[in-house]
Copies of this chain bind each other. A is one copy, B any other.
C-alpha cells in the first residue's frame, strides 16, 4: 500500500489534486484547524482523510497548496508541528510565490529540521480523466515526481536549486494570466468606442490562436480576478521593484481588483467580457 501523503490546504487546486491521488489509491491526509468551511467541504468531497495536525507529520511528503499570501503562514505552522518529531515530512511548496519568498520559506522549514523542496503547478486543476496541470519540482524530488506520475498526475523535475520552479511559475503566470488581463483591458476599452467587433475580426484574421485563448480566458478570469491580484504582486516582486517592468504587474494587480469589484457590484465590465 502506498504511504500517505499530506496536503494542506484544500482549495480548488489542492482538493482536485488530492481527489486524483485518492482515486488512484494514495491516502491523502489533511488537517483543517483554522481552515474555512469551504475547505472542509472540498476536502470531504475529494475523499481526503481529515486528521489532527500531529498525524500529518507521519507522511513522507507534505504538499503546501495555498494562496501566495498564506504560503509563509503555513510554513510557520508546519515548523511548529515539527517540534519533537524525529523525521518530519519533506515540505514541498507548490505555491505561486516568487523565488525570494521561496528562499524565506526554505529558511523557516530548514530551521525546524525538515527538508524543503521548491515546486510549482502550471495549468488548471485536474477534472474528470483529463490529464490536468503539470507539477514542477526541483531535481532532488525525483522520487516524489515518480510517485505523482504513477498516480495520475503529471510531474517533472527541473534543474536548478530552490527558486527555479518558483521563477518558472512567476514567468509562466506573468505571460499566461498577463495576456488574459491585457486582453480584458483592451476588450473593455475597444467596446467603449464601439470597436469591439472590429477588434475581434482583426485578431481573428491575424492571430486566431490568441483570439481563441482570449475567448476562453476573458469569462474565466472574472471569478478568479480577486485571487489573481496578489499573484500579480508576487510577479512584480519577482521582477524586482527597481525595474520598470515591475510597474506592469503592479498595475495588472490593480486591474484585477477593479474587475473583481465590478463582478461583486454592477457587473458592467463582466458583461462586456462575457459577450466579447
Contacts and interface: CB of A to CB of B under 8 A. Distances in A.
Contacts of A164: 193-195, 198
Contacts of A255: 244-245, 248
A116 interface: no
A213 B207 contact: yes
Interface residues of A, number: 61
Given A185-B174, A251-B250, A202 B168 contact: yes
> Majority SS of interface residues in chain A?
helix
Work out how many copies of this chain go into the complex. 2
Given A160-B193, A175-B183, A189-B245, 18 more contacts: A164-B198, A167-B190, A168-B190, A168-B195, A168-B199, A171-B189, A171-B195, A174-B186, A175-B210, A179-B210, A185-B239, A207-B213, A210-B210, A244-B254, A247-B251, A248-B251, A248-B252, A248-B255
Contacts of A194: 159-160, 164, 167
A176 interface: yes
A235 to B, nearest CB: 8
A134 interface: yes
Interface in A186-224: 186-190, 192-195, 198-199, 202-203, 205-207, 209-210, 213-214
Contacts of A165: 195
Interface of A: 99, 122-123, 134, 136, 158-160, 163-168, 170-172, 174-176, 178-179, 181-183, 185-190, 192-195, 198-199, 202-203, 205-207, 209-210, 213-214, 238-239, 243-248, 250-252, 254-255, 257-258
